[in-house]
Copies of this chain bind each other. A is one copy, B any other.
Amino acid sequence: MITNVELINIGDELLIGQIVNTNATWIGQQLSLSGYWLKQITTIGDNEQEIIDALNAAKSRAQIILITGGLGPTKDDLTKDVLCKYFNTHLVFDKQAYSDIENIFHARGKVVTETNKRQAELPSACVPIYNKKGTAPGMWFNYGEHVFVSMPGVPFEMQAMMQNDVLPKLKQQYKAMPIVHKTILTQGIGESDLSDRIASWENDLPPHFKLAYLPAAGMVRLRLTGKGVEDMERDMNQRISKLKELIAPYIFGYDDDTIQSVVGSLLLEKQKTIAVAESCTGGFLSHLITSIPGSSAYFMGGTVSYSNASKMSQLSVSEQSLKDYGAVSEAVAIEMAIGARKIYNTDFALSITGIAGPGGGSVEKPIGTVWMGIATHDSCYARKFLLGTNRLRIIQVAADTALNMLRKEIIEHY
């Protein structure tokens, strides 16, 4: 018997489209990975009666009701008071919650305000879920066969509570259905080309296995899910290894890997260092690399040379090359990579120079034209890519693609 879950997202900002409801997406992924079925997502405003109606409706359909939002310290946040009414309980001051709030303020060099102090008052009927990343504690209410869990709407606070407290507690209390997931991350091949390559493999899947194509900027994730049948691991592994043979050249990682985490692990393993020289990506490549904790062990630095002058002064790109071929060219990409490797004294350097638009395009070099260079101790080359016309997508895909160039270089030659 499947345990049904419902999610209630509270906040006017979701109804008027001021923010995208990424919490629902993330929670849906986590529940599905944990073997629970998210039956319905209900988004409502900060309104007492609507919250109570939504709680009653969800209770009539699901055993587990997750709630996000409306826990801020200000007047428009009603969730805590409404839950007090709903469960016919009252607020009590919680020492632990208060010391968490103190720590948050302390870490930001501030003292707790009266308004925030009230966030330490919790319904006496709930089991508090303490918040190490923000000032609003979560609340866990056991209610007959049902459980209601209220969490803050701030994504990284909610995510920490789900992973550290809520999902583990749910697994103790409710049977999850057998479920296995395996995700393969590919780069350099489109969704439909992938599906053509693996068509016969996909057609052989039994009904309890489902393949999902999850395209994202510059990559396609393939997620195979087995659901509802015991002991699927062995079967899953066999199918995955068959799949890997079919698309080996395009695979760069698995499950929660990112191209920056995969490249980071490779650099650590080989004890190599890297620097980057960026033009059109404007620092995003450096940002991706340094978003990985511990990246300072292999990332020495990067130069964002947006102007030709800085390409020459900072990366010793020759004025001649800029004049003869233009800033977006094979020659300049290679010189940028060589320059970055030299000034940061690293084993490898990546360079990106291109036209992200909306301006700057021409007939022979349209928007989306991007040259990427790589320099090593004994080689140096550049490749040209056409990455569409959307500025932010060009930046994202260019950075991912450059990291994948480095990954292949390391795997093939080191």
Q: Which residues of A contact B (CB under 8 A)?
A: 12-22, 24-32, 37-46, 50, 54, 57, 72-76, 104, 107-110, 113-116, 133, 154, 156, 181, 183, 190-193, 195-196, 202, 210-215, 223, 225, 276, 278, 281-287, 289-291, 293-296, 299-307, 309-310, 313-314, 343-345, 357-360, 366, 368, 385-393, 395
Cα(A393)–Cα(B104), bound, Å: 13
Q: Please tell me which one of the listed residues B32, B44, B302, B387 contacts residue A16 in the complex, with CB atoms under 8 A apart.
A: B32
Cα(A385)–Cα(B109), bound, Å: 8
Shortest CB-to-CB span from A169 to chain B, Å, is: 20
Q: Please tell me which one of the listed residues B30, B196, B291, B307 contacts residue A301 in the complex, with CB atoms under 8 A apart.
A: B307
Cα(A37)–Cα(B225), bound, Å: 36
Are B286 and A304 in touch, CB under 8 angstroms? yes
Cα(A284)–Cα(B304), bound, Å: 11
Given contacts A41-B15, A289-B282, contact A192 B29 (CB under 8 A): no
> B residues within 8 A CB of A154?
215
Given contacts A19-B214, A304-B290, contact A282 B295 (CB under 8 A): yes
Given contacts A27-B17, A107-B368, A283-B286, contact A196 B115 (CB under 8 A): yes
Are B195 and A75 in touch, CB under 8 angstroms? yes
Question: Could you tell me the dominant secondary structure of chain A's interface residues?
Answer: mixed
> B residues within 8 A CB of A314?
301, 303, 314, 343-344
Given contacts A17-B26, A287-B283, contact A304 B301 (CB under 8 A): yes
Q: Please tell me which one of the listed residues B50, B74, B293, B301 contacts residue A357 in the complex, with CB atoms under 8 A apart.
A: B293
Are B290 and A299 in touch, CB under 8 angstroms? no
Given contacts A293-B358, A301-B303, contact A39 B50 (CB under 8 A): yes
Are B75 and A202 in touch, CB under 8 angstroms? yes
Are A284 and B287 in touch, CB under 8 angstroms? yes
> B residues within 8 A CB of A113?
190, 192-193, 196
Shortest CB-to-CB span from A305 to chain B, Å, is: 5
Given contacts A212-B13, A215-B72, contact A44 B40 (CB under 8 A): yes
Q: Please tell me which one of the listed residues B18, B28, B42 contacts residue A17 in the complex, with CB atoms under 8 A apart.
A: B28
Are A73 and B287 in touch, CB under 8 angstroms? no
> B residues within 8 A CB of A25?
14, 17, 19-21
Cα(A196)–Cα(B303), bound, Å: 44
Complex A-B: 16 CB contacts under 8 Å = A16-B32, A20-B25, A76-B212, A104-B388, A107-B388, A108-B387, A113-B193, A282-B289, A283-B285, A283-B304, A287-B287, A287-B395, A300-B310, A303-B314, A307-B344, A314-B343
Most chain B beta carbons < 10 A, residue from A26, A41, A50: A41
Shortest CB-to-CB span from A114 to chain B, Å, is: 7
> B residues within 8 A CB of A359?
293-294
> B residues within 8 A CB of A390?
133, 156
> B residues within 8 A CB of A107?
366, 368, 386, 388-389
